[in-house]
Structure 1
């Protein structure tokens, strides 16, 4: 057994009770419930499964000793954030050293309720050195959490086994309840706004303006993102594991679609400003990038890795009452996927969006319509939403204004659908007024020319 030490100290064993199991030829495994010593009766004692691979192949008969040591005290020198539970189980085979079992020994421990800020791990006592020195190691055993009061250890060697409880330094979220409520309300508003905007864009998509197709894709992606975000908390608490896994995958798909369509908006704006005389790419290419590539990524991740499912977010005010949602699991694979597939593309999008915003403003700032403050503000704010620049607020979450920035980040980004609808209708109203003024000016010019001709 090689691995990091889990702690050192000296043992102080209380009374114990052993069970002897004889393994003869054809041994097919055995389930053993370990009895507690007299005057130390427990409600539920540990149980042990002895696999057939435990019997030495060169011996016709051998004995297995299973010893239960309840209420054992181990003075462990180490971090105060970890401790060994009282129950210890020793398993050994007579005159044999058992290692590298093909089928593991399974020891099931029953213990007190483990809170959400604590984690349990199966550890074994390395007795190869000094028998009086306690060295607990995690390697060689796999931890299976049955429930908050029951843990199973699957180990490929024999020695003393116990449960190590560690206090996890989990990241908590400030004002989680208020942020959850505000985000849900804002997402509902955006969902309704996206529905109205989708209907309006559908009526005008048959025109020659290809920008409407790009806007339609972004609004549809935001509609899915808001819908699945609202459903994720409900389905995590009421739905089954399979439903939660599917919802987490769909939420991830909607987020990737939104990121892709914001990137398409950046590219399309660059094309309109700097490639004026070139033909715009076929909208089908945009739809493949915006919806096809995210579907491929989520499908590969979903089938190859177990990363989608229930995720608990611990509030800072009450760590025993976490918020549950269907999303990427809190695991190494889930965190790696989050940083590679979510965070990295968003950072690239925000950088490109900010650069494109500066280029667009520089290009059109001298136009007459941009000299009006209201039009300029609405255009810049709308471009910020289109290019995903509002996500950059999360990087300002520090210092005395941290709480304010956190609330602004949730409100502004949850209301992106509403802001896009507002921008669309305000700009449509400005276009109609401009068109009416042009028609009125053209009509006055024609009337003046007719009057001049009559006088002549």
Structure 2
């Protein structure tokens, strides 16, 4: 009794017939009572088991004895291990470079421009701080998750979420300032920058505090189609994640895109009131439009396309554009 039977030369086969996957991925897994997640719960693992699918039947070939089960996961949630590794590599490089250039940009502002900074520059520096929080917390997230300390995991998840929502909010604030500038309203608002700053930092904090109070932050698994999983500290409820984050950014996106279109229209129509554009002015206008596209965070909208056949492509486009965003913004304003 209590003997461990493992590393069998002839795998044990367990067959399940008439399995209705309903579009999900099936993985043969075994119960590992010796390993635990961040919550102290034992894990289902794929070690020592292979999954063989034939028509409506699934055969589990395992080289050890324990409790076995077939676990289903939605197809969109699973991507290949190679894609996960590549995306992680791109993200780490991008966030690292963004972090460096954001710090340089903030340092230059404090050292050189602080005394004579315009309202637009002050708003941009607040965005830099929000993005710095986002990048730093993201880069340290997995390491903290692997520690298995629930309190630390909840804390870094909350900081990461706050950094992301604050970044979204400051995209909105930039678009709002641009709109008010076009309408020449800024100078008429009392305590303008104070109101902008309070709104930009307090609204994300309210959302994060609400989720902390309802205990929605925890360690989650990112599964691949090979049954392997990486962990990170984030919102544990997928419905809350979709509703809060996608909904929050959707509101920001509608407004920033509207202001972007309005501004581009004004840039394009401006030469008609005077002389025709030359090559230098066309290049200048194109550069201005691309800068606005980045500064207003419109690239985050690629998250809306992460479904169906566009899933993997949208992941790569989203990762490349947004992980290097801090570098792009610093270069744009320098």
- Which has the greater radius of gyration? 1
Checking the alignment, whether the CA contact within 8 Å between 2:186 and 2:192 is kept in structure 1 is: no
SS of aligned partner of 2:118: coil
The verdict on how the C-alpha distance between 1:335 and 1:396 changes in structure 2, with shifts beyond 3 A counting, is closer
Q: CA deviation at 1:211?
A: 1.0
Mapped pair 1:372 → 2:275: no
Q: What is the aligned partner in structure 2 of residue 394 from structure 1? A: 303
Q: CA deviation at 1:369?
A: 9.4
Summarize deviations over 1:111-142 as a string: whole Å, max 9, x none. Answer: x9338xxxxxxxxxxxxxxxxxxxxxxxxxxx
Distance 1:292 1:260 in 2: 10
The verdict on how the C-alpha distance between 1:200 and 1:336 changes in structure 2, with shifts beyond 3 A counting, is same
CA RMSD of aligned residues (A): 3.2
Mapped pair 1:199 → 2:107: yes
Q: What is the aligned partner in structure 1 of residue 43 from structure 2? A: 148
Mapped pair 1:325 → 2:232: yes
SS of aligned partner of 1:326: strand
Instruction: Flag the structure with more relative contact order, 1 or 2, with Cα contacts below 8 A and sequence separation at least 6.
Output: 2
SS of aligned partner of 1:346: helix
SS of aligned partner of 1:113: strand
Q: What is the aligned partner in structure 2 of residue 265 from structure 1? A: 174
TM (norm. structure 1) is: 0.55
Q: Which runs of 4+ in 1 moved over 4 A?
A: 41-44, 76-81, 163-166, 367-371, 397-402
Q: What are the ranges of 5 or more consecutive residues in structure 2 without an aligned counterpart? A: 5-15, 22-28, 33-38, 45-66, 272-276
Q: CA deviation at 1:397?
A: 4.3
Q: CA deviation at 1:239?
A: 5.1
The verdict on how the C-alpha distance between 1:376 and 1:400 changes in structure 2, with shifts beyond 3 A counting, is farther
Q: CA deviation at 1:370?
A: 9.7
Distance 1:278 1:287 in 2: 16
Q: CA deviation at 1:336?
A: 2.8
Checking the alignment, whether the CA contact within 8 Å between 1:173 and 1:313 is kept in structure 2 is: no
For residue 254 of structure 2, the aligned residue among 332, 351, 354 is 351
Relative to its length, the structure with more helix (as a share) is 2
Distance 2:202 2:279 in 1: 37
SS of aligned partner of 1:306: coil
Q: CA deviation at 1:190?
A: 0.3
Q: CA deviation at 1:205?
A: 3.0
For residue 228 of structure 1, the aligned residue among 120, 137, 145 is 137
Distance 1:285 1:250 in 2: 23
Distance 2:259 2:280 in 1: 20
